[in-house]
A and B are shown apart, each in its own frame.
Chain A
């Protein structure tokens, strides 16, 4: 068990150690396990060399915009599937699940062509549109979550003359903390961690940290600076890890809701 834990954590620990080494210590042979003097300046260099604040702002803005939109729309749609009836409901829900099985590129390639024709590349519009359209995964999560609510809640509210939107906003949303938190964090992580779409849709100025960090840290002759890169990676990953562990309980519930009851 401890051996397994070591295998899982050693590569991460090695990134942390490398991030405070001198570049000469990184390349040394035989290998230098610990830096003689921790080079905290690597972190400072990681921030200045990549214009970290600018690309972090891009990442935060893009991730937040998508997250806010997709959580709102997906909660509405999930609520509709869970608590309302209309012709074709089950078939439509099957369509939601079917969409989840499509290879991402099958959808993305024609979307890319459409975005390019509409002049929406090099902008954040694709993410805004994806957010407005709701995401099948998030719809599924909310549908599973709302389906478990007792029927009496709505009945009482309807007797009191509440319209469906008020029932949703004043009764279901205040009780949907775990689903909202899980959905928001998954959405945020998806954009923050995604590498493929920003590299295809954005340019060097408005791209995200994930893309920028891949090639920002080189010396004047173009040789990679691994130690500073690792410091940059730590700064890029750390906020997410903190966010995840702060909301760990919700996420586990979210994973379980989507994963098991399907």
Chain B
């Protein structure tokens, strides 16, 4: 009896000790996480609940004591709002131009710099520099460059057709905005693609070259497929960022001074988040603005999901980096 009881007693002591140790381990884990756990509860979960509630009310920033629930009215209004439709259309146009061209430029820069040309260090610095310039500075750079008075762009075009006077920010605001966004993001993406290129074993490319592939064929059939996970990542990040664009169109609004919370960009650069921003911070329609933002979130999720679902057709995960 006692001989049989001993191992049981021993193992239960061990079990208690083990349980105590795993409880202490869990406690250590949560202790390290505590800043984020508290922060998430108070600055993410709670605000999200507030934002969701808000979107069903007529809250205007002042009427908290007599706020009324309006059901789905904000959402039905958003779907019928011609300004919201216009803003959504402008945002989607921006997305389908900026994301492919932007990722293409990043990829091209990385492929070119990977060739180890002369001055590649200097060139990398030049391409990376815009990524370091804060958005306020970058907006000024392009405002000045496209300025009809002291801008260099009209002067350069003027060499070929004299007396050029194009008010770029008024006549072609979306072109300037797209170029600005592509220019600012190029360096960051380039660095990520360069790292991806360095992760590809040189043997693959050498083997293809020995088999008689041209440099273009090596790029097209060896390098690009192996880079496709990175391309996919950049496309997803680009789509999410472009759908949420707000500061750049506001800062590119023509006129140098008077940028205030009420600055409204030209009609062509009137983006979706800008419309929500106006609803909330200019017109004090907090409930309506919140509904607009939830619609945007749904759209972001939907597009990301579609990208992931279709990625199997062109993203190649065969080789671990």
Q: Which residues of A contact B (CB under 8 A)?
A: 1, 4-5, 8-12, 14-15, 18, 21, 26-31, 33, 73-74, 76-77, 79-81, 84-87, 89, 92, 95-96, 99, 101-107, 109-111, 113-114, 117, 129-130, 132-134, 139, 164, 168, 189, 192-196, 199-200, 210, 213-215, 218, 222, 224, 226, 229-230, 233, 236-237, 240-241, 244-245, 252, 255-256, 259-260, 262
Contacts and interface: CB of A to CB of B under 8 A. Distances in A.
Contact of A256 (B64, B152, B195, B258): B195
B196 to A, nearest CB: 7
Contacts of B64: 117
Nearest to B237: A259
A15 B141 contact: yes
B123 A1 contact: yes
A103 B297 contact: yes
Contacts of A29: 149
A130 B42 CA distance: 10
Contacts, number: 248
30 contacts: A1-B117, A8-B126, A14-B151, A15-B141, A15-B144, A21-B150, A26-B149, A27-B150, A28-B150, A33-B155, A86-B30, A103-B243, A103-B293, A105-B273, A107-B44, A109-B293, A113-B54, A113-B61, A114-B46, A133-B43, A134-B35, A189-B132, A196-B246, A200-B261, A210-B134, A218-B257, A230-B140, A236-B137, A245-B125, A256-B192
A213 B304 contact: no
B149 A260 contact: no
Nearest to B143: A226
Size range of the chain B interface in the assembly: 35 or more
For A8, A89, A199, A213, which residue has the most chain B Cβ atoms within 10 angstroms?
A8
Contact of A96 (B36, B196, B251, B280): B36
Contacts of B181: none
